Amino acid sequence: MKQISLFILLILQLSACSYFKRDSTEGKDAVARAYDYFLYPEDLQGLVPVGASREDSVAIIKNYIDNWFRQKVVLRKAERNLDDEKKDVEKKLEEYRNSLLTYAYETELVRQKLDTVINEEEIAQFYKNNQDNFELKDNIIKVIYLRLNKKSPKLNKVKDWYKSNVKKDRQLLEDYCRQYALNYFLDDNTWLLFDDLLKEIPIKTYDKEQFLQNNRIVEIEDSSTIYLVNIKGFMVKNSISPLSFERNNIKTIITNQRKLKLIEQMEKQAYEDAKKGNDVEVY
């Protein structure tokens, strides 16, 4: 290895001056060999940053050659142990190239021509026609919750506000939460997974459905924190998921359907154009 390191230094110095050129004789002036593969000085050019120290230069080149050795010996092992069918990568490379080109063209086609505007009427109609496909897999809730330090001011007031449906009380609660709450969620028009609430609030239950059916107002305390929960509504798993919970999912489904239809139309039109131009035929 000492000889290799010294030789590498010499290579660096000479290759920097462009003294080396590949000889027509295979292996001549090579830096390294692995079986029938050869590494030449020009293959190392550009690896070492300008101004690198001698020690860093040696380390960079040595690491590159070590990796090159590993790649080539594994390649040789693969060539010797795989049958001819598995070694025939030309067909696979061609298929891969064709797939990449086709995908790139389809992606650009979709970017330019896909209509992404989906109105509420279309969403509602899709939901109506496909309700059997929107069965809830988990329990969902509409809820407001707060996590507060037990030393927070006006806790009695807060306990009144979070139970109230009065608009003024809700505004007071929002102002209070922004100032004092450790964490809070006040959008009771949005459906959430019940499991997501359980990540925030230390509710202990072995039967989630039964808990939801029997609890609306929940207050939990530990040594330093108080948790306030008002469950405004719930739906248990295996029931039909509400439209508001599925809206984004439906948008995604409709968009994907449009993509597939656009690509199918492009393929059909391309085929028809090729037939008209006598560019496809069966011999």
SS3 annotation, the chain:
CHHHHHHHHHHHHHHHCCCCCCCCCCCCCCCEEECCEEECHHHHCCCCCCCCCHHHHHHHHHHHHHHHHHHHHHHHHHHHHCCHHHHCCHHHHHHHHHHHHHHHHHHHHHHHHCCCCCCHHHHHHHHHHCHHHCECCCCEEEEEEEEEECCCCCHHHHHHHCCCCCHHHHHHHHHHHHHHCCEEECCCCCCEEHHHHHHHCCCCCCCHHHHHHHCCEEEEECCCEEEEEEEEEEECCCCECCHHHHHHHHHHHHHHHHHHHHHHHHHHHHHHHHHHCCCCCCC
What does the pLDDT average to over 24-31?
A: 67
CATH number of the structural domain spanning residue 179? 3.10.50
Verdict on whether the full-model pTM lies above 0.75: no
Q: Per the domain annotation, does 115 fall within a domain?
A: yes
Q: Per the domain annotation, does 151 fall within a domain?
A: yes
Q: How many structural domains does the chain have? A: 3
Task: Specify whether 126 is located in the same domain as 250.
Answer: yes
What's the CA angle centered on 63, arms 68 and 2, to 5 degrees?
Answer: 105
Task: Specify whether 127 is located in the same domain as 158.
Answer: no
Q: Per the domain annotation, does 113 fall within a domain?
A: yes
Q: Per the domain annotation, does 283 fall within a domain?
A: no
Q: Among 42, 68, 83, identify where a domain stops.
A: 83
Task: Specify whether 11 is located in the same domain as 61.
Answer: yes
What does the pLDDT average to over 209-229?
A: 95
What does the pLDDT average to over 192-203?
A: 95
Task: Specify whether 28 is located in the same domain as 152.
Answer: no
Q: Per the domain annotation, does 14 fall within a domain?
A: yes
What is residue 52's predicted lDDT score, i.e. its pLDDT?
A: 87
What does the pLDDT average to over 227-246?
A: 95
What is residue 2's predicted lDDT score, i.e. its pLDDT?
A: 46
Task: Specify whether 125 is located in the same domain as 261.
Answer: yes
Task: Specify whether 73 is located in the same domain as 12.
Answer: yes
Q: Per the domain annotation, does 39 fall within a domain?
A: yes
What is residue 11's predicted lDDT score, i.e. its pLDDT?
A: 52
114 φ, ψ to 5°? -70, 130
What is residue 161's predicted lDDT score, i.e. its pLDDT?
A: 97
What is residue 26's predicted lDDT score, i.e. its pLDDT?
A: 59
Task: Specify whether 39 is located in the same domain as 160.
Answer: no
Record the tokens describing residue 165, joined without a space: 């449906």
Range of the domain at 96: 89-133+242-276
The torsion defined by the Cα of 210, 212, 216 and 220, in degrees rounded to 10, comes to 80
Task: Specify whether 222 is located in the same domain as 148.
Answer: yes
How much is the mean pLDDT over the chain? 88
Cβ atoms 202, 152 nearer than 8 A: no
